[in-house]
Chain A
Amino acid sequence: MNSSLRLITMFFGLLFLQVFVLNNILFLGHINPYLYIIFVFVYPLKENRISFLFFTFLLGLGIDFFSDSGGTHAFSILIIAYTRLFFIKLYFRKVATEYAFFKLKSEPFGKRFNYVVTLTLIHHLIYFSFANFSLNNILDVFLNTLFSSVFTLLLYFLGSYLFNKTE
């Protein structure tokens, strides 16, 4: 009960943080962090993934509702939500029985860094490709992906450092 309550708070917290604060940053005119994807990193790893996929889809769709972007956020966050397991197996070498005990916080920083950076880059690349929706400005897509990823990752690591410190 406690953990599901925490997830619900995090869901709405991330949604409102993204649409009311982070979407208005527009650093240098157009660079925004997309911090809501940490929902995918923090959501506990379970054998049954239906609810996980569904909630990430809802979060992406919620962001889309506010930022008038059709379904681009929902589409891109779903992709990293689905491929999350593959990267966990790849980077942390976990098997199915260890899923219940898996905690991102307790993993070594190097592996965690690889995992988070890979998922963030995938998400941002897909998001910007769909937001752009043409092959004309392909360089802009890559640049946006790079800058926004750096911004998002900076916020994520700063945040996780601060929050882990207090515990």
Chain B
Amino acid sequence: MQQIIYFFQKFKYFLFFLLLEFVALFFIFNNLSFHKSKFINSANSITGGLYYQSSNITEYLNLKEENKLLAEENTQLKNLLSKKSVNLDTKHSIVLDTLHYYQKYSFSTAKIINNNYAKDFNFITINKGENEGIKKEMAVINSRGIIGITEHTTNNYARVQSILNKNSKINARLKNTNYFGTLGWDGKDYNTVQLSDIPRQAPIKFGDTIETGGRSTIFPEGILIGTISKINKGNSADNKVDITLFNDMSNLGYVNIIKNLDRQEIKQLEKNNE
């Protein structure tokens, strides 16, 4: 017994050091896995609140860019609307029975209060949380394309796993085809992401547009991602293609969060099949 006490006496600093290091390691490993990251994140009320204050100040620096984005999005929406009105003129497409109208997605707005893009595992903090109905695993986009997936929420804030995160895996496809691949990031350039596992027979060309595939319950179909900037010739197993993003990930302001209203039902169905 005395030996043990003596041992603890002698090595107390080293043991304390080891204990703290294990705590830190525990946090590191938890942070790497999408489903366990609960403890250390910037979405809690203290860090979130401070980031909110600081973003209130720095927001003014990006007003010009933000205005341009809004104008672009308005043009895009007006173009869509003008296409629609042609269709509405025909007899059968007017929806009179609103009871049978079926909404699949609902959108809400949030502001980015902290944005990382220079690390290997990047996260974004937004100023909406559970109080506004934001939950885990919802899509985050802006008018130019995808940004990430919500990963952890508190009452007023949420943490988003950016597409610039080595753990990020998103279903994507060539625009207007059904050739699917997985979108990931290699941690190098914040303007470039990688699309892998796309079939060999797919007609990929330089400059082709890539959009979300709609095979997951998170992202709706057809949200823009980027254009193909490099095709790797040769026989690598995963057939990787470099994609240049439409979004400038270093300069993000307001975003949309998409809630899939069918998600519960689809998950339930998939669970039954297993």
Contact = CB atoms under 8 A, between A and B. Distances in A.
Nearest to A85: B13
A71 B27 contact: yes
B121 A71 contact: no
A68 B16 contact: no
A140 B187 CA distance: 10
Interface string B18-50: 001101111111111000010011101011001
Contacts of A20: 54
Nearest to A137: B187
Contacts of B31: 68-71
B63 interface: no
B119 interface: yes
Nearest to B167: A133
Contact of B47 (A49, A65, A78): A65
Contacts of A132: 120, 187
A66 B20 contact: no
A82 B15 CA distance: 11
A118 interface: no
B118 A67 contact: no
A69 B121 contact: yes
Contact of B24 (A65, A66, A75, A137): A75
Given A20-B54, A131-B119, A71 B23 contact: yes
A120 interface: no
A163 B138 CA distance: 49
Interface string A32-66: 10000000000000000110011001001100111
B40 A71 contact: yes
A152 interface: no
Interface in B109-153: 114, 116, 118-123, 125
Contacts of B40: 61, 64-65, 68-71
A117 B41 CA distance: 30
A68 B42 contact: yes
A154 B42 CA distance: 29
Given A20-B54, A131-B119, A65 B41 contact: yes
B16 to A, nearest CB: 6
A71 B28 contact: yes
A134 B166 CA distance: 10
B12 interface: yes
B105 interface: no
A74 B42 contact: no
A72 B118 contact: no
A130 B28 contact: yes
B17 interface: yes
9 contacts: A29-B118, A32-B118, A50-B12, A54-B16, A54-B20, A57-B23, A71-B27, A75-B21, A131-B121
Interface of A: 20, 26, 29-30, 32, 49-50, 53-54, 57, 60-61, 64-72, 74-75, 78-79, 82, 130-134, 137, 140
